[in-house]
Amino acid sequence: MRSKILLGLLCAMILSACIEGKNQEGMDANEMDKKPSHEVKEHHKQHSANDYMHQRSVEELIKNFESPERDAYQKPEEVLSYLGDISGQKIMDIGAGSGYFSVKLASRGAQVIAADVDDEFQEALKKRVEQNKIKNIELRKIPFDNPGLSNNEVDKVLIVNTYHHIEDRIAYFSLVRNGIKEDGELIIIDFFKKEIPVGPKRDHKISKELVVKELEAAGFEIVEVNTELLPYQYIIKAK
């Protein structure tokens, strides 16, 4: 009889631990159960995308970001031409990383806010800015859930290969919208959601259709969806 009671108590303790336990990303199991299944999947994908990228060191990532191989598919000069005359404009580059686009935007006369959540990327970019004596780039460390923009602060926001890392995107881009001037623009560049030789795994990518839906929910008007300029990425322009 005593062994049966002990066994029952042990089972109860294990069940209680399972119910109260946290999932791998720190979200309470009960909270996960309350979320719609598609939100739970999206939550896991976003964290997986970040984990996937940071499997490599920052030094390795920077080498990859600044490689000739990236130049070949990213076509930065074509992207800059697509943006038009940006001289004198204030532009935030969210997910600036190594400064791949921030430096190029600055060379075209824009006042650039190079924003990133990562201290190591910000430190590396600070050294790059100082070594090259670039005066029109401001570094800005931002949290994961906020673009760190004041109301009507910038003429443009550029986000390249970063959209799929952002969580709670409708709320996030509502804040982005508040930070863009009335006649300003948001430009999203990200990978097609299909098997391609660059970018994260297919499951980590976000389709252009979903991006459009989320941006509209955040209060943006879609100006253009360009699928022709770049071989592996779409460009979405919104205001």
| pLDDT one-digit tens code per residue, 98-119 | 999 999 999 999 999 999 999 9
| DSSP code, position 149 | P
Provide the sign of the torsion angle of the four alpha carbons 119, 125, 128, 129, taken in this order. Answer: negative
Q: Give percent above pLDDT 90 in the chain.
A: 73
Are 101 and 76 a contacting pair, CB within 8 Å?
yes
pLDDT average, residue stretch 169-176 = 98
The count of other CB atoms within 10 Å of the CB of residue 224 is: 10
Whole-structure pTM value: 0.77
Q: Is residue 12 part of a domain?
A: no
Average pLDDT, the chain: 84
Residue 234 host element (H or E): strand 233-238
* Token pair recorded at residue 147: 């673009």
pLDDT of residue 55: 54
Structural domains in the chain (count): 1
Confidence of residue 28 (pLDDT cuts 50, 70, 90): very low
Predicted confidence (pLDDT) per residue in 199-232, tens digit: 999 999 999 999 999 999 999 999 999 999 999 9
Q: Is residue 48 part of a domain?
A: no
Q: Tell me the C-alpha distance between 173 and 197, whole Å.
A: 29
Q: Is 236 helix (H, G, I), strand (E, B) or coil?
A: strand
pLDDT average, residue stretch 54-69 = 80
Q: Tell me the C-alpha distance between 237 and 159, whole Å.
A: 11
pLDDT beyond 50 at 192: yes
| DSSP code, position 163 | G
Give the residue numbers spanning the domain of 129: 58-238
Q: Give percent above pLDDT 70 in the chain.
A: 77
Which residues in 73-202 belong to E strands, given as ranges? 90-94, 111-116, 137-141, 154-160, 180-191
Q: Is residue 16 part of a domain?
A: no
pLDDT of residue 49: 42
Q: Tell me the C-alpha distance between 49 and 106, whole Å.
A: 29
pLDDT beyond 50 at 44: no
Higher pLDDT, 216 or 58: 216
CATH code of the domain covering residue 140: 3.40.50.150
- Which residues, at least 6 apart from 151, have a Cβ–Cβ distance to it below 8 Å? 178, 179
User: Which residues on neighbouring strands pair with residue 116, listed in sequence order?
Assistant: 141
Q: Is residue 21 part of a domain?
A: no
